Structure 1
C-alpha cells in the first residue's frame, strides 16, 4: 500500500509539471449557429426577430438576411451569398413593393416613396445576384431592401462593384457579401437631403460593403484562412462619388469602428483579426 501511494504521488507530480491535458482550461470560442447560410459569417448587430428593438429587427428571406431599422425606413445591413447556384435566366422583375412581412402597425415604405427625391431606390442585394427564379429576383424588389442612393453612386460606382462580384462567380468563385449604410445626409440629383418620404426614410451619408471571396467548394467557413481575399469598401452617398470603387477600399476594422458592428464574428479570432486589418490590393475588374 505504501509503495502504491508513493507511485501515485510521483505520477501526480509528473502530470502537473507536464501540464496534464485533463487539468488544462482551454478557452473555447462560442459556437455560432447561423439561421441561414446568408449569415454564415455572423449576425453583425445581433439583430433579433422578437420586435423588442425596432431599430435592429432581424428579417430572414430565402434569398438574403438583414437587420431592418424602423426609425430609418431602411436596412442597417443586408447579408447574402453569391454563387452559380443563384445565377440563372430569370428576368428583372421591377416589382418594387412594400414588405408585407413587417410587424403589424409599422410604417411600410411604398414603391413611390422615393419619387421626385433625387435619389434612386438603391438595392442592397442587387437584382442581378438573384436570377435563378422569378421568385428570387422579385424578392430583391421589396422596399425593405432599398436605401435612398445617389444616382451616380447607384448606376456607376456601385454597379461596377456589383458586376465585379458576379465576374468573380463566373470565374469559379463564391462570395459572401455584407452591405450596409450609416449616417445622415446624402447628395442626390436634387442636391443635399437628410430624409425623404415626408421624413419617414433617412438618407444615409455613407454606404459600405464587405466581400469574402472563396473558390467554389464545401464547408466554406472552414476554408477561410488568413490568406482569404477580403474586399472592404466605404463610400460617400453623393452624386460626386468617383466611378472607381477601388478608390474607396478600406479595412473591415474601419467599418466596424464607424458602425459598431462585428462583421466576421463567426471566424476564429486569430483569422478574423488578420482579415479585418487588411486593405485589399487585388484587381477591381
Structure 2
C-alpha cells in the first residue's frame, strides 16, 4: 500500500515538472517572437552621414521643434502632408503681390521649393542648393530708417529640421561673399527687420565685385533714386545655374558641396508712385519695370548694373518661373516685354 502511494506521488510530481517545462518553453518562444528586427545598417548609416553636419551645429536645435519663434511672430511649420496652400495675395504691400514665381508652398516635402515667410520678405528656399531660388519683398519709405547694419549672419532656425542648415561661417575662405537677396539696406527702420536679412536662408555665394559694386549700385539706385522720389517698389531677386567665379577662381559648390554657387543673378523691380490699391494700379500697366541679369563672375563683371538690363520675359525663359502671375494676362504680356533703361 505504501509503495502505491509513493508511485502515485512520483507520477504527480513528474506531471507538474512536465507542464512547467512546456509553459516555460512557450513563454521563451513568445519573447523571441516579439523582439524587434535589427535596423537596416545601410539606411541608418546613410541617414547619420547626411545629418551629421546639421547635428554638429548648436543653433539647429530649435529647428526640430514644431514651432519657431521670432521677435515679431510665431510660425508653425506645416506638416509634411500639407502641400496645397495656394493663396492669391492681393493686399497692399504684400511681399507676394506680384505672384509666387515657382508656386512654392510651406510643405516639408518640397525640399527644393519650400516657402518661407520671414515677415520682412518671402522666399522659395532650395535645401539641396543651400540657397533661396528667389526672394520677394515690398519696399517703400517706411522701410528705411537709421538702424545700423547688424552683420548678424546666422543659420535660419525656422527651416525644417530635415533641411541642411547653412551657418554664417560656411562661406569663409570660399572666395565668395555672403550675398543678400533682400538687402540689409532695404530694412533699416528697426533692428528686427535688419537682423532678418542676415539669415543664411536669404544668402547666395556672390562674387565679391558683383556684390560690392554692381549689385550695391543697383540697390542704392532703388532706394536713393526710386523710393526717395516718392515711389514704392515690388522686388523679386533670384539666381540660377551652377558655377560661379569668385576671388579664388571658378567653382560649382562651397561648404564641402553643400551650397551651390549660381552662375547668374537676377532682379526685377516694379515701380509705382506711393499710394493705395497697388494691384489695380500695377494691372493698369502704367508702371516702370527695371530688370537685370548678371554673371556671377568676379573677373568679368562690370561695375555698372545698367549693362545687364534685360526683360522679365528673358528672365522667365532662363529660369522657368512664372513672373508677375497675379496680374491680368494681357498686362503680363505687355510688361514682360518691356525693357526700361533709366
TM-score, length of structure 2 as denominator length: 0.72
The aligned counterpart of 1:245 is 305
Equivalent residue for 1:52, pick from 109, 112, 134? 109
After superposition, the Cα gap between the structure-2 partners of 1:72 and 1:31, relative to the gap in structure 1 and judged at 3 Å, is closer
Per-residue CA shift, 1:101-147, capped at 9, x if unaligned?
01012210001100100000000000010011000000000000000
Paired position in structure 2 for 1:144: 201
**Quick one: distance in 1 between partners of 2:186 and 2:87?**
29
Distance 2:129 2:164 in 1: 11
Q: Measure, in 1, the Cα distance between the counterparts of 2:162 and 2:242.
A: 25
Quote the residue 1:161 is aligned against: 218
2:274 to 188, 207, 216: 216
- Counterpart Cα distance in 1 of 2:318 and 2:90: 24
1:187 aligns with 2:242: no
What's the counterpart of residue 88 of structure 2? Answer: 32
Structural RMSD (CA):
1.4
Cα offsets for 1:38-77 (capped at 9, x unmatched): 0111000000001121000000111000000001000000
Match of residue 278 from structure 1: 338
* Mapped pair 1:121 → 2:121: no
- Which segment drifts farther, 238-247 or 148-157? 238-247
Measured after TM superposition, the shift of residue 31 of structure 1 is 8.7
Report how far residue 263 of structure 1 moved. Answer: 1.1
Rounded to whole Å, the distance in 1 between the matches of 2:259 and 2:207 is 14
Q: 5 Å matches for 1:57-68?
A: 57-68=114-125
User: Which residue number corresponds to residue 265 of structure 2?
Assistant: 207
Within a 5 Å distance, the mapping from 1:63-78 to structure 2 comes to 63-78=120-135
Deviation at 1:280, TM superposition (A): 0.9
**Corresponding position of 1:228:** 287
Q: Give distance in 1, aligned partners of 2:239 and 2:164.
A: 20
Contact 2:180 2:203 in 1 (8 A): yes
Task: Find out whether 1:43 has 2:103 as its counterpart.
Answer: no
**Whole-angstrom CA distance in 1 between matches of 2:125 and 2:170:** 17
Q: How far is the alpha carbon of 1:277 from its aligned partner?
A: 0.6
Contact 2:89 2:96 in 1 (8 A): no
Total equivalences in the alignment: 253
Of 232, 240, 256, 2:316 maps to 256
Larger radius of gyration: 2
- Any residues of structure 2 matched to 1:97-136 within 5 Å, and which? 97-136=154-193
Query: Which stretches in structure 2 are left out of the alignment for 5+ residues?
Result: 1-85
**Matched residue SS, 1:93:** coil
Q: Which has the higher contact order (CA 8 A, sep 6+)?
A: 1
Cα distance, 1:154 vs. partner? Answer: 0.1
Q: Is there any run of 5+ residues in structure 1 with no aligned partner, and where?
A: 1-29
Q: C-alpha distance in 2, partners of 1:32/1:271?
A: 17
* Distance in 1 separating the partners of 2:87 and 2:111: 27
Partners of 1:96 and 1:53 lie apart in 2 by: 25
Whether the aligned pair in 1 keeps the contact of 2:254 and 2:260 (CA below 8 Å) is: yes
Query: Partners in 2 of 1:171 and 1:279 — Cα distance?
Result: 21
Contact 1:34 1:42 in 2 (8 A): no
Q: Aligned partners of 1:69 and 1:78: how far apart in 2?
A: 11
CA deviation map 1:73-98 (0-9, x unaligned): 00000000010111111111000000
